[in-house]
Amino acid sequence: MTITQLQYVLAVAEHQNFTLAAQKSFVTQPTLSMQVQKLEDELDILIFDRSKKPITITEVGKKIVEQAKNIVNEAERIKDIVDQEKGFIGGDYTLGIIPTIMPTLLPMFLKTFINKYPKVNLIIKEQSTENLIRNIEDGHIDAAIAATPLEVEFIKERPLYYEPFVGYVPNNHRLKNLDNLKPEDLSINDILLLQDGHCFREGVINLCKASKNYDDEHFQLQSGSFETLVNLSDEGLGMTLLPYLNTLSLDDTKKVNLKYFNAPSPAREVSLIYHKSELKIQITEALRDVISGIVRGAIAFQDVKIISPISK
Amino acid sequence: MTITQLQYVLAVAEHQNFTLAAQKSFVTQPTLSMQVQKLEDELDILIFDRSKKPITITEVGKKIVEQAKNIVNEAERIKDIVDQEKGFIGGDYTLGIIPTIMPTLLPMFLKTFINKYPKVNLIIKEQSTENLIRNIEDGHIDAAIAATPLEVEFIKERPLYYEPFVGYVPNNHRLKNLDNLKPEDLSINDILLLQDGHCFREGVINLCKASKNYDDEHFQLQSGSFETLVNLSDEGLGMTLLPYLNTLSLDDTKKVNLKYFNAPSPAREVSLIYHKSELKIQITEALRDVISGIVRGAIAFQDVKIISPISK
DNA sequence: TTCTTTTGATAGTATAAAGGTATTACATAA
DNA sequence: TTATGTAATACCTTTATACTATCAAAAGAA
């Protein structure tokens, strides 16, 4: 049994296809097939049931695949230990970011990070929280920036900052004359929301639920970007809520429509999340340092109340 | 990096000697040296400092060795998974037993176990609790039978039975006329004890401490076997305490000197202990089944008070 | 010091393992 | 039926692993 064989097994288990698994492993299909067979021979069991198309994993196979994941992960950690010892911060690093954070936060830290750590090949992926969690579990991304707390067993969270919700209330809206908002003022019925799958949407719904203005009806308007929401809002279709960082780039003509919440302002907790195995932890820590250093100061709010990003 | 290379590294780390490590790994010394070098080259660090005699492990080396232990252990678990699937109970299995349990318990279960699981090659080692713990950590023994609770982080304990302490009070002793003992009756000053290193000794001392009759003076008489203690006791050198199972084989002429404790009788908890990684867990469970099945009935005491086997 | 002894590294070679190309076998779908 | 996708097999090359023999360096003994 070799680590390579286990990696091949993992590739086949993931893609359910020897040919594709071989490509992803950068070897030919016969090479991979032979190694998987050799492992099966050595253990004298079948890991894959090749009689079905697509191939399936046997019951023993499932257990072996789980254990193989452990072993391969622990083996990669050896390289981590060496890198840490050498003070080397480099190599591929895949970072996921949720769509509602990406456009505002990424420009703030990207240049600084790649200048400070030129040997890190940073790969950024924009994905929903749900997909980020799955990809962290599978090891396809090394860390992600998302709204927390998530309460996922295998994920560690390191808070980066707390970002208050800000109301965008257009001229004709019933709340127009208020100086500041209170959660109780909100009604789910006249708030424009992002599409399903955005956790900021869940946060807003949780906020309305908490203030008892939630009646579980279907929402008529949904959009994928805050820019659209603001524009729809201006058209008289209701108010909306924006994360604080998204309000900084608004036109002055629109900024007058912003209404802040009374303290403690509802806010989302934005964290760097990663697998509890802490692979590539030095790069993750470096990233956290850079982002916290930059965000500190950009967000001055002290007294906030965290709204959960997950539907309950 | 291969699992074999990691195993070689572990062997060298353990024996601090390439030649010996090679023997224990059943390869020649150059083979092992080359593989270790290859790993060092691949990682571009030194794991061992060969300039000193005996060779030492570098700082990075220590971390790598720790991680290598993980990996090798997790890899062995694959075979475990397969064995479990096949319902196969077999292979080498090393069991440690503390000296005060060995002579009474081993004869009770050994025949039954080797008949029921003929494919298991059981290797029994008699060692102190301290050594058992170290050997469980190093993976040199698969499980052990010892007095618990031990409160060791990496060890799991499965209680087998609770064995009461029984007083052996000779004719001329101050407690001779009591029908039953109470812990308060005991004085550390007239109890014969086993040598240092036996945890049953610690248990007795803890029992005396708990009853405030402990004055921390040096004890004059110590022995390595209960038989000696009983004989010394008969010579008028004080009373002694025996584990219940040890009293069963006494002569009738000696049995009259036995005095049981009032309920709840002080007792030691005897457990099967093993590494939390649960390697070879099927055999461990099989062993536990056999022993519990046999001991149940042999010890009828219900109401006992567990005395800790470790000095505090 | 000088001569052994111990112990790890190196050289050279045989064998086994891993990887490649070409081809075959066997499904499933058209 | 044929065409297509996919895994297995045959066969060859390269690489890795393990061996024997030997060397080099350090530690101990004379």
What is the predicted pLDDT for the residue at B220? 46
Q: What is the pLDDT of residue B308?
A: 80
Residues with CB under 7 A from strand D: A 16-20, 29-30, 33-34, 36-37, 50, 53-55; B 2, 4-5, 26-28, 30-31, 34-35, 38, 51-53
pLDDT of residue A225: 76
- CB within 8 A of B51, min separation 6: which ones? none
Under the banding of pLDDT at 50, 70 and 90, the label for residue A177 is confident
Chain A residue closest in CA terms to B64:
A78
Position B284 scores a pLDDT of 95
User: What pLDDT does B223 receive?
Assistant: 59
In this predicted model, what pLDDT tens digit does every residue of A113-158 receive, in sequence order? 999 999 999 999 888 899 999 999 988 999 999 998 888 999 999 9
Judged against a pLDDT cut of 80, whether residue B236 lies above it is answered with no
Give the pLDDT of residue A156. Answer: 95
In chain A, the domains with their CATH numbers are 3-84 (1.10.10.10), 88-159+271-300 (3.40.190.10), 163-267 (3.40.190.10)
Mean pLDDT confidence for B284-290? 94
Distance (Å, whole) CA B76 – CA A74: 14
Q: How confident is the model at residue A203 (pLDDT cuts 50, 70, 90)?
A: low
Cβ of B77 and A60 within 8 Å? no
Q: B164: cis peptide before it, omega within 30°?
A: no
Probe site for chain B from A43, A45, A58, A282 (most B CB atoms < 10 A):
A43
Instruction: Specify the pLDDT at position B94.
Output: 92
Higher pLDDT, B258 or A303: B258
Task: Give yes or no for B281 touching A (CB within 8 A).
Answer: no
pLDDT above 70: residue B37: yes
My answer on whether omega of the bond before B54 falls inside 30° of 0, hence cis, is yes
A56 in contact with nucleic chain C (CB within 7 A): no
Q: Are B241 and B167 in contact (CB under 8 A)?
A: yes
Q: A23 vs chain B: nearest CA distance in angstroms?
A: 21
Q: Kindly state the average pLDDT of the residues A274-290.
A: 93
The residues pairing with B35 across neighbouring beta strands, listed in sequence order, are none
Minimal Cβ distance to B1: which of A1, A3, A64: A3
Across A289-293, B12-16, B238-242, least confident range: B238-242
Of B284 and A310, more confident? B284
Listed in sequence order, the DSSP H helices in chain A are 3-15, 18-24, 29-43, 59-86, 102-116, 129-138, 199-210, 226-232, 244-247, 252-255, 281-295
The residue to which tokens 């461990």 are assigned: B284
What is the per-residue pLDDT for A55?
A: 86
Residue A246 has pLDDT above 70, yes or no: yes
Q: Which residue has the higher pLDDT, A139 or B229?
A: A139
Mean pLDDT, to the nearest integer, of B281-297? 90
Residue of chain B whose alpha carbon sits nearest to that of A86: B45
CA separation (Å) from A272 to A141, A188, B178, B265? 12, 29, 70, 56
- Quick one: tokens of A41? 């021979």
**Which of A4, A20, A34, A1 has its CA nearest to residue A12?**
A20
- Interface residue of A39, A73, A82 to substitute, partner B, most B CBs within 10 Å: A82
Q: Do A71 and B67 touch (CB under 8 A)?
A: no
Question: Which of helix, strand or coil describes residue A268?
Answer: strand
Answer whether B256 touches A (CB < 8 Å): no
pTM of this prediction exceeds 0.85: no
Q: Is the pLDDT of residue B192 over 50?
A: yes
Encode B43-82: b = buried (16+ Cβ within 10 Å), e = exposed: bebebbeeeeeeeebbebbebbbebbbbbbebbbbbbbbb
- Give the gyration radius of chain B's Cα atoms: 24
CA distance B8 to chain A (A): 14
By CA distance, what is B7's nearest residue in A?
A2
pLDDT of residue B144: 95
Phi-psi region of A216 (alpha: psi -120 to 50; beta: other; left: phi over 0): left
- Give the mean model confidence (pLDDT) for residues B56-71: 90
pLDDT confidence of residue B132:
93
Indicate the range of A50-59, A188-197, A232-241, B6-15 predicted with least confidence.
Answer: A188-197
Cα torsion through B215, B220, B222, B228, rounded to 10:
-120
Give, in order, the Cα–Cα distances in Å from B106 to each of A200, A253, B109, B145.
Answer: 64, 88, 6, 10
pLDDT in the model for residue B283: 94
Question: Residue B146 pLDDT > 90, yes or no?
Answer: yes
Instruction: Indicate if the alpha-carbon torsion angle B174, B177, B178, B181 is positive or negative.
Output: positive
The span from the CA of A168 to the CA of B110, in Å, is 79
A260, A164 contact by CB (below 8 A)? yes
Asked whether B160 and B245 are in contact (CB, 8 A), the reply is no
What average pLDDT does the segment B97-123 reach? 89
Assess A125–B contact: CB distance below 8 Å, yes or no. Answer: no
What is the number of CB-based contacts under 8 A between chain A and chain B?
Answer: 64
pLDDT band at A66 (very low <50, low <70, confident <90, very high): very high
CB B166 within 8 A of CB B233: no
Percent of chain B residues topping a pLDDT of 90: 34
The pLDDT value recorded for residue B295 is 87
D3 C1' to A51 CA distance, Å: 21
Does residue B300 sit at the A interface (CB-CB below 8 Å)?
no
Mean pLDDT of B70-93: 90
Partners of A266 in the β-ladder: A305
The alpha-carbon gap from B67 to the nearest alpha carbon of chain A, in Å, equals 7
Q: Rounded mean pLDDT of A31-44? A: 90
Extended beta strands in B78-129, E state: 91-97, 120-126
Q: What is the 8-class DSSP label of residue B181?
A: B
Q: Is A82 on the interface with B (CB under 8 A)?
A: yes
Question: What is the pLDDT at residue A5?
Answer: 92
Confidence of residue B74 (pLDDT cuts 50, 70, 90): very high
- What is the predicted pLDDT for the residue at A220? 46
pLDDT bucket at B273, cuts 50 / 70 / 90: very high
What pLDDT, on the 0 to 100 scale, is given for residue A312? Answer: 57
Cis preceding linkage at B103, omega within 30: no
Under the phi-then-psi rule, with left for phi > 0, alpha for psi from -120 to 50, and beta for the rest, what region is B294?
alpha
pLDDT band for position B219 (50/70/90)? very low
Asked if B79 lies within 8 A of A45 by C-beta distance, the reply is: no
Quickly state the pLDDT bin for A283 (edges 50, 70, 90): very high
Are B170 and B290 in contact by the 8 Å Cβ rule? The answer is no
Are B43 and A77 inside 8 Å of each other by CB?
A: no
**Å from A97 (CA) to D5 (C1')?**
37
In this predicted structure, what is the pLDDT of residue A202? 73
A260 bridge partner residues: A166
Q: How far is CA A187 from the centre of its chain?
A: 28
- Residue A224: strand, helix, or coil: coil
* Contact between chains at B64 and A75 (C-beta distance less than 8 A): no
pLDDT category at A192 given cuts 50, 70, 90 is: confident
Please give the pLDDT value at position A51. 81
Cis-peptide, bond into residue A149, ω within 30° of zero: yes
Task: Specify the DSSP class assigned to residue B93.
Answer: E
Q: What is the mean pLDDT of residues A230-243?
A: 83
**What is the three-state SS of A154-205?**
CEEEEEEEEEEEEEECCCCCCCCCCCCECHHHCCHHHEEEECCCCHHHHHHH
CA–CA separation, A184 and A170 (whole Å):
18
pLDDT over 90 (residue B217): no
Average pLDDT over residues B138-164: 92
Does the pLDDT at position B207 exceed 70?
Answer: no
